[in-house]
Structure 1
Amino acid sequence: MPIPLHVSSSILLLLFSSSLQLVIADSSLTFVYHFYIEERGTYTSNSIFADNLNQVLSNLTSEAQLSGFNKTSIGFITDQVNGLYMCRGDVAADTCQFCIITASMKIQALCPNQKEVVIWYNLCMLRYSDRSFFSTAETYPSAHWYSNQNVSNMVQFDQLVKSSLESLANKTAFDPLTKMYVSNETNSGSFDLYSLLQCTQDLSPSGCYLCLKNAISGIQINGGTGRTWVMEVLPSCILQYSVALFYNTAPPPPPPQPISVVLSPPPLQSPSPVHSPVRALPSPSSTAPATNSTNHAAALFLAVGLLFYCLRRKRKDGLKPNDVSRNAPTKKNASKDEGNVK
């Protein structure tokens, strides 16, 4: 006798959530920020745009097991969806894929039916839109975080930060061997400075440099000078530095065997009508991703398999894959200043 759908789905989603938490805990995956462009409008759940979006997200999550960056477009004119993801250059392939899967589900829960959104985790970013944004250096919206702690000699430290980041921005953008990702340790005698800069690989060298220069400028504008760690996130690039090591120094392990992913969002609880709270990230010393690729891959395989099975059962029983509540309250456009954590 078949198990009722609502029972089996709940159990599978619970198991999926447990596997998700396992990988998140192991890889120090941390939600950072999200944003949507209200002016781009919304789509309906049963529209061609919704189908194209599901396919874009499915393609991107599948590609994330093979590459740390990719982009794709599906559809034509008003129904076209353009999507892009970027994983931090020091993370393993299975961690990258799980970060993108998590971001895909999270952003559709936070911004249901919005046509243009961007979401950042500490290890990846994901964005999609009905307009083409590929190969364009976009610096808005942006968000910034910094530590509550200051260094002892702020003037000397800020000089070290400025000279180091400007040099690394040039290397990230114009050295083809970097693939637009650079992590670096600088020792000045008084300070150890660990820096990470990265651009989406669809940018030109000049576009990457422009984005990183905006990120560097944002440190001073947004009150990050003299802080022991700072993060700036923009749609086309990210920048982070700290006095403690926060990234992997060893090269990421090779990608695992491909896993077929078909991703559609399960029914999700309506988001809260208030803004997402601005939160400080954990200290960089605790956010370096783990390198236990075997554990990651096993949990990833289980979670994706359970999600895939659950969604197939839903389609078989006539449920819509995009059946998110249409009465969910609309989140207003978040302002850039919400990124401050003081």
Structure 2
Amino acid sequence: MQFLIIHSVSSLNLTNEYLSHICLINQGKYNSGSEYEYNLNYLIDDIRTSHHEVGFTKVSFGNTTANFAQVIVQCRGDSYGSKCNTCFDTAISGFQKRCPNNKGGRIWYDQCFIYVSTVDVELPGKTIYENIFSMHNPQKVRGDAKLFAKKAIDFLSELTLKVQKPTKINHRLVYYAAGEKKVGKNTLYAMVQCLELTVDCTSCLTWSITKLFKKNDIKQGGRVLGTNCDVRYELYPFLRS
């Protein structure tokens, strides 16, 4: 019996689409020409000229509550160097368009995430679960959907175990794992990733995987994104090797 009646996509489907954003209204807005705007632009220029060899950076500038700005950039595990910078340019423009003159906010794109804040964000603390959201492929899994879900959960859990032993690249720990696995006659592609500063990475990923398959309406693909961690699976390749 055929396990799934689905045509998988053989070509790499790389995109950098806008996914979601949050404007942090409680952090207020800045005026054009203000010291805060100068500090934020200084950080943006600094990030653009730096080398994102492992796709993560956290920078801040300012010495008072009124002008302090911080920017955190996390690129997807396969988007380093110039690819990370390209996503950052797209995302920062998107943030300024969707949250004009907001001092704080978050924005997600397919290959990167940006967090702008007026406070020194201590992300090594507990995971910010209220900012986690999910997205799903509109196509349902045909065949034994429960068995597919079990295999997908098992595979994402295997990748989560790999993240517990992060890869060290250029003196940084990269909490990212990806792979592929045969499921019936199809290939399941998946990835898990945590923000570099997250200490409860495993808990965040485990919670996100559970959320991904919380409903019985199992889809051909899906992802959960947040401030601290991301998980994704598809029946087509979506990552660089």
Query: Fold-level match, TM-score > 0.5?
Result: yes
Aligned partner of 1:247 in structure 2 is 239
> What RMSD over aligned residues (CA atoms) do the two structures have, in Å?
2.1
Correspondence list, 1:306-321, <5 A: none
1:252 is matched with which residue?
A: none
Structure 1: give runs of 5+ residues left out of the alignment: 1-25, 250-342
1:229 alignment partner AA: G
Q: Paired residue for 1:148?
A: 138
State the Cα distance separating 1:151 from its structure 2 match.
Answer: 1.3
Q: Report the secondary structure of 2:157's partner residue.
A: helix
Pair member with larger Rg: 1
Aligned: 1:135 with 2:127: no
From 197, 204, 215, the equivalent of 1:202 is 197
Unaligned runs of 5+ in 2: 1-12, 169-173
* Structure 2 length-normalised TM: 0.83
From 210, 233, 236, the equivalent of 1:217 is 210
Q: Distance in 1 between matches of 2:224 and 2:72?
A: 19
Alignment match, 2:155: 164
Contact in 2 for aligned 1:231/1:240 (Cα 8 Å): yes
1:63-118 Cα shifts (integer Å, max 9, x gaps): 25544111111112412111111111112522211110111111011101112211
| Secondary structure of the corresponding residue to residue 167 of structure 2 | helix
Whole-Å separation in 1 of the counterparts to 2:64 and 2:207: 32
Cα offset for 1:229? 0.7
- Which residue pairs with 1:104 in the alignment? 92
Structure 1 contact 27–95 (Cα < 8 Å) conserved = no
Give the drift of 1:170. 2.6
The answer (yes or no) to whether the contact 2:149–2:213 under 8 Å persists in 1 is: no
Count matched residues. Answer: 220
* Shift in Å, 1:38: 1.7
Shift of 1:185: 0.9
- Summarize the Cα distance change of 1:46–1:86 in structure 2 as closer, same or farther, 3 Å threshold: same
Offset of 1:130 from its aligned partner?
Answer: 0.7
Equivalent residue of 2:140, what SS?
A: coil
1:159 offset after TM fit, Å?
0.6
Partner of 1:311: none
Sort the Cα spacing of 1:52 and 1:184 in 2 relative to 1 into closer, same or farther, 3 A. Answer: same
**Which is strand-richer, 1 or 2?**
2
- Structure 1 residue 176: deviation in Å? 2.5
Identity %: 24
Counterpart in the other structure of 1:33: 20
